[in-house]
Structure 1
Amino acid sequence: MDPKVIVAGVGMIPFAKPGASAPYDEMGTEAARLALKDAGIGYDLVDQAYAGYVYGDSTAGQKAIYPLGLTGIPIVNVNNNCSTGSTALFLARQAVASGAADCVLALGFEQMRPGALGAIFNDRPSPFVEFDKVTDRLVGNEEIPLALRYFGGAGLSHMEKYGTKLETFAKVRAKASRHAANNPLALFRKEVTADEVMGAQVIWPGVMTRLMACPPTCGAAAAILVSPEFAKRHGLDASVGIAGQAMVTDLSSTFDSDDMMKVVGYDMAKDAADKVYDQAGIGPDDLDVVELHDCFAQNELITYEALGLCPEGGAEKFVEDGDNSYGGKVVTNPSGGLLSKGHPLGATGLAQCYELTRQLRGTAGTTQVEGAATALQHNLGLGGACVTTLYQRV
């Protein structure tokens, strides 16, 4: 591979429960400093910065980045719901690949409140109006928080279409806990069994228990992207490159297919994955490790199929055969994923980048996938956008 963009440095701080973290700006500054240290450069060499967060006031990115230095560079604040971190990464990669910049910081952070996600601005139209219309028609249950309705409805759609058992989603969650037990940066490191997941508080009878949903989380992560020429000029680690990347927003099928899996981004994920496979000249069978958007166990399972990790309708067998973990076909979410590592919305995409970069360097420690050379990242935001990024060892 002859990449146009190198991931020269990554940084991440331990994720924490709401109320137990430092303020957003301190978290963001620390993650950025860690990425710069990992790259082995100073902030004075950064040409541009993209700062991602969902819940915060305008120019919060400047607040987090200014302690690194007041160099006058462009700082762009990014908000794309749960795909915010990877959207910052997407923009940073474009800047380097186009030649507009040689060295770019992508930063993501989030300081969240406890409880289910909900609207902040109730005096104007919600961006989810059209999504809610479809969801009301297909699943009802308007008393259930919106994110649970969306992804629980998608899981229910898979169950009805393919006969998938609720216990299979519980096994996905149990796998996440086993992986997170080895990740010192994960929020929840306690292992749980599938039976314990099934026995957790029921939040939608027959569809979801509490442990199948990711927790609100605070945290930050960052990456330094550079051109190959910059890496060579400064003697940086150029062992990991971006071989393909795509962002896809909603297609007409999101709203007119009468399928909750498509409402929550199945077709966006499939399209974005197909694009990066084409760019890199490989297929899903060539992947060694994947970090995908498991905001709910249901979404992890349906995403296996969207990314081509298994055939459509084959996700239950994929789980039962252990093909989603160490010793199987492709290790998914070695970090513990959103379900166990946590999901600080703006930081998630860059936390995925952190994990996969270390996997391909062979420095992931207790989460290391032996011989990992090709990795796929999938980050989804409802409303909507899906970003996939393909990394390869150079």
Structure 2
Amino acid sequence: MHLQVNLKLSYISSWPSHLHSHCGRLSKSVLLIRAGHWMPVHLPNSLLGGPVVGRNWDYAGMYFVKPGGPRDYPDLAKEAAETALADAKLRYSDVQQAYVGYVYGNSTCGQRAIYHSLGMTGIPIFNVNNNCSSGSTALFGARQVIEGGLADCVLALGFEKMESGPLSNKNQFPLHTNPLDHHLEVMGDIYGFDVAPIVPQMFSHAGREHSQRYGTKPEHFAKIAWKNHKHASNNPLVLNHRHYSLQEILDSKPIHGDLTVLQCCPSSDGAAAAVLVSEEFMRRHSLEDRAVEILVQEMVTDTPETFSTRSAMDLVGYKLTEEAARRCFRRTGLSPVDVQVVELHDCFSPNELISYEALGLCPPGQAATLVDKGDNTYGGRWVVNPSGGLIGKGHPLGATGLAQCAELSTQLRGEAGSRQVKDANVALQHNIGLGGAVVVTIYQKYKQQPQVVMSPSNDVNTEEFKSTAVFDSIKEKLKQEGKQLVGKVGAVFAFHVTNGPGGKESRWVVDLKNGSGSVDPVSNDKRSSADCTIIVADSDLPEILMGKMNPQVAFMKGKLKIEGKMAAAFKLQHLRLRTPKARL
């Protein structure tokens, strides 16, 4: 799926002398604005991605402030949503649906926020709450609407108005069952409860479990916080620019076990917004040059294994993250080594460390080695949380997922300034909410679609090629299932067949986007866009489409090359042909 996102971020603080953390108050904070004087800092961004059946673009805005400030959530949402639309050069009248994520609020806060900031046009507005993954959940819903062809322009909005101090598990509705009751019951059975905020306890126990299994030391968790504070010092839009020493982090106020306050993310009020549009919409508005493609996005919720393993790591989402990442990499044919930049959910430093392993950045038990080698920062294998992460930039729950999206879009477009990751082409996002839901997304810098020929070719005698029989079989398949395949696939493929008879090459176009589909060889007199180009040897194409050769294995071995939209290539599984039966 393709999504154009212009993300405007403003992290504003009016702290007089302290920063509010999930785990208490942190002294000696940095002032970002003068007391009583509001000076927002703007950074327009753009992110482009989309579904196989059509592109989706997203423009977003974001605005963070100290918790408990005078501006309520409608004002925060107004700042983000208006800037997102302005950056996209769109009007609210272009928006056909909206998905709004938040945690602390009544059931129709999304309507109130949009009415105040944008107007009342009668569009469907969906309010979503998935705890800390609410922002990514709003994005997930909006993306699915575009991918399903139900709308051309959808708004994803996330915001939060938070209390100062620790993030708690306080039940807002005391007559209702606490949604985390099973999680807390299992944690209590394993470790009991201490006099400390419940949520930090959960993640502290996850770190404790990792240490008991693999020998991870307190310094490894502290190094992650040190790294994120250092990254944040290069980000003009974060809540706290101070770069603490490792010793300061280790010596800061204890919260629970080895977890200290400087290893905890600060609460904040804030909002973020994104506008998603279809491929046709993108083209009409000439947005291709700022495009970043969403290759894949997966959401995973709890299974019985979350509780049956009696693991503190699983209670905070390790298995969910592992499964979501596995699905994403399987669907794309990519692996963690193809990723350059990561924004992951570092609500507390232990969660970042265990997420390295769950996301597949290293094998289980090797996260401490990854940290010691510096493979999570500039000069290492990946740069994780170049924005400063939640620890460095703050965590307004409903907006965080869209903030991560903003940073990755900025990185992929090469607009991150002093925090720019070199050669950033593929990005990974991880957003988690206890209770629980994990959203993992893989982004890629958008590539312009190759131009291919659609009319019959007279250049090469295609009858000489082994692959010609495959294209003839596809033609027959389209006669029987053409409309159904077009509905499932919705893409145009260009096949560049190499190593034919005498070293010859041939080119074909398989249109599974229009009418009942078509198959044509290529010539040079008429051109049209294809969603992706498949480059494959004449002898290998029949093996792949007949199911004799695994396409992912062929891709990894270099026998199958793909240009353009990687996500479109995954739909080729619908073209798999049956091996002809032997005749007597």
Q: Secondary structure at the match of 1:38?
A: helix
1:110 to 156, 160, 179: 160
Residue 226 of structure 1 is matched in structure 2 by 277
TM-score of the superposed pair, with normalisation by structure 2 = 0.66
Residue 246 of structure 1 is matched in structure 2 by 298
Q: State the number of aligned residues.
A: 392
* Counterpart-to-counterpart distance in 2, 1:17 and 1:157: 33
* Counterpart-to-counterpart distance in 2, 1:104 and 1:327: 38
**Match runs of 1:283-298 below 5 Å:** 283-298=335-350
Q: Flag the structure with larger Rg.
A: 2
* Comparing 85-94 and 58-67, the one that deviates more: 58-67
* Comparing 277-286 and 229-238, the one that deviates more: 229-238
In the alignment, is residue 367 of structure 1 matched against residue 457 of structure 2? no
Q: Secondary structure at the match of 1:86?
A: helix
TM-superposition CA deviations, 1:221-247 (whole Å, max 9, x none): 111111111100121245111110000
In the alignment, is residue 378 of structure 1 matched against residue 422 of structure 2? no
**Match runs of 1:183-262 below 5 Å:** 183-205=235-257, 207-237=258-288, 239-262=291-314
Change (3 A) 1:21 1:296: farther
Residue 47 of structure 2 is matched in structure 1 by none
In the alignment, is residue 42 of structure 1 matched against residue 42 of structure 2? no
In the alignment, is residue 137 of structure 1 matched against residue 186 of structure 2? no
* Comparing 25-34 and 301-310, the one that deviates more: 25-34
Q: Secondary structure at the match of 1:160?
A: helix
**Match runs of 1:277-356 below 5 Å:** 277-356=329-408
Residue 327 of structure 2 is matched in structure 1 by 275
Q: How far off its partner does 1:122 sit?
A: 2.0
2:56·2:146 contact (CA, 8 Å) conserved in 1? Answer: no
2:174 to 122, 131, 141: 122
In the alignment, is residue 6 of structure 1 matched against residue 56 of structure 2? yes
Q: Which has the higher strand share?
A: 2
Residue identity opposite 2:242 in structure 1: K
In the alignment, is residue 154 of structure 1 matched against residue 193 of structure 2? no
TM-superposition CA deviations, 1:56-110 (whole Å, max 9, x none): 1121111111231221111111111011000000000100000011111111000
1:180·1:340 contact (CA, 8 Å) conserved in 2? Answer: yes
* Counterpart-to-counterpart distance in 2, 1:242 and 1:221: 18
Q: Secondary structure at the match of 1:105?
A: strand
Residue 104 of structure 2 is matched in structure 1 by 55
* Counterpart-to-counterpart distance in 1, 2:311 and 2:181: 17
Residue identity opposite 2:109 in structure 1: A
* Counterpart-to-counterpart distance in 1, 2:415 and 2:145: 27
Residue identity opposite 1:217 in structure 2: S
* Counterpart-to-counterpart distance in 2, 1:25 and 1:184: 24
Q: Secondary structure at the match of 1:149?
A: helix
* Counterpart-to-counterpart distance in 2, 1:142 and 1:191: 31
Q: Which has the higher helix share?
A: 1
* Counterpart-to-counterpart distance in 2, 1:52 and 1:12: 13
In the alignment, is residue 98 of structure 1 matched against residue 142 of structure 2? no
Q: Secondary structure at the match of 1:346?
A: coil
2:57·2:282 contact (CA, 8 Å) conserved in 1? Answer: no
TM-superposition CA deviations, 1:138-184 (whole Å, max 9, x none): 12134222101110010000000000000111100000001111112
TM-superposition CA deviations, 1:226-274 (whole Å, max 9, x none): 1111100121245111110000001222101121101110000010011
* Counterpart-to-counterpart distance in 1, 2:445 and 2:318: 28
Q: Secondary structure at the match of 2:59?
A: strand
Q: How far off its partner does 1:43 sit?
A: 1.3
Residue identity opposite 1:157 in structure 2: E
In the alignment, is residue 77 of structure 1 matched against residue 165 of structure 2? no
Query: How big is the alpha-carbon RMSD for the aligned residues of Structure 1 and Structure 2?
Result: 1.4
% same residue: 52
1:10·1:357 contact (CA, 8 Å) conserved in 2? Answer: no
Residue identity opposite 2:361 in structure 1: L
Give the number of the structure with larger relative contact order, counting CA–CA contacts within 8 Å between residues 6 or more apart. 1
TM-superposition CA deviations, 1:29-63 (whole Å, max 9, x none): 11111211222211111111111110011211111
Q: How far off its partner does 1:286 sit?
A: 0.5
Q: How far off its partner does 1:123 sit?
A: 2.3
Residue 460 of structure 2 is matched in structure 1 by none
* Counterpart-to-counterpart distance in 2, 1:39 and 1:186: 23
Q: How far off its partner does 1:21 sit?
A: 5.8
1:335·1:341 contact (CA, 8 Å) conserved in 2? Answer: yes
Residue identity opposite 2:162 in structure 1: M
Q: Secondary structure at the match of 2:140?
A: helix
* Counterpart-to-counterpart distance in 2, 1:279 and 1:30: 36
Q: Which runs of 5+ in 2 are unaligned?
A: 3-49, 447-584
Change (3 A) 1:138 1:7: farther
* Counterpart-to-counterpart distance in 1, 2:175 and 2:183: 19
Residue identity opposite 2:125 in structure 1: I
* Counterpart-to-counterpart distance in 2, 1:153 and 1:105: 38
TM-score of the superposed pair, with normalisation by structure 1 = 0.96
1:154·1:261 contact (CA, 8 Å) conserved in 2? Answer: yes
* Counterpart-to-counterpart distance in 1, 2:379 and 2:86: 33
In the alignment, is residue 86 of structure 1 matched against residue 120 of structure 2? no
* Counterpart-to-counterpart distance in 1, 2:162 and 2:377: 30
1:48·1:75 contact (CA, 8 Å) conserved in 2? Answer: yes
